[in-house]
Amino acid sequence: MSEIVRFGVSLEKTLLEKFDKLIHNRKYTNRSEALRDLIRQELFKKEWMNDREVAGAVTFVYNHHIRELANRIMDVQHDNQKMIISTQHIHLDHENCLEIVAVRGKAKDVEKVADLLKSVKGVKYGTLSMTCIKEEGA
């Protein structure tokens, strides 16, 4: 068995409470096991998908009233048009818009585009969902 190392983690109380609810709902017996699984999952994704062809969706919410924000988002999309298959723009309410950007390319390149879109100043929240297109060796 591998050597166990203990370390401390500092979290906001509300974040820890949410994490505890999550691990309870997923039937973990303790925080350590849940953290181990999260770490393994992230490391596995990086190793498994780093150089593979993927398809995915970048989903983000932003306030369309922020001056020039839509133009900055569009600039990122135009600069990366080889990987962007399609976009969908949805009006959520008077202020907020949801943008879904379908992407395809090498996983590391798709992640870079997602990071660029999510980090545009004014974007409130964003996620990337990826899946492999072909099985390894196919």
Q: Residue 55: what pLDDT?
A: 92
Residue 98 inside a domain? The answer is yes
Residue 51 pLDDT class (50, 70, 90 cuts): confident
If you search the block for the tokens 């369309």, which residue do you land on? 64
Question: Domain tally for the chain?
Answer: 2
Task: Give the chain's radius of gyration (CA, Å).
Answer: 19
Does the pLDDT at position 138 exceed 50?
Answer: no
Residue 6 inside a domain? The answer is no
Residue 7 inside a domain? The answer is no
Do 113 and 57 share a structural domain?
A: yes
In the chain, DSSP finds a helix count (H) and a strand count (E) of 4, 4
Q: Residue 90: what pLDDT?
A: 97
Q: Which residue has the higher pLDDT, 42 or 127?
A: 127
Q: CA-CA distance, 46 to 118, in Å (whole number)?
A: 19
Residue 48 pLDDT class (50, 70, 90 cuts): low
Q: CA-CA distance, 82 to 124, in Å (whole number)?
A: 25
| Average pLDDT in the chain | 89
Do 67 and 45 share a structural domain?
A: no
Evaluate if pTM is beyond 0.85: no
Residue 80 structure tokens? 């990366």
Residue 28 inside a domain? The answer is yes
Expressed as residue numbers, the domain containing 126 is 53-132
pLDDT 10s digits, 9-45: 999 999 999 999 999 999 999 999 999 888 877 776 6
| CB contact at 8 A, 119 and 74 | no
Sign of the dihedral defined by the CA atoms of residues 45, 46, 52, 58, in that order: positive
**The domain spanning residue 31 has which CATH number?**
1.10.1220
Do 111 and 44 share a structural domain?
A: no
Instruction: Supply φ then ψ for residue 37, to 5 degrees.
Output: -65, -40
| CB contact at 8 A, 107 and 93 | no
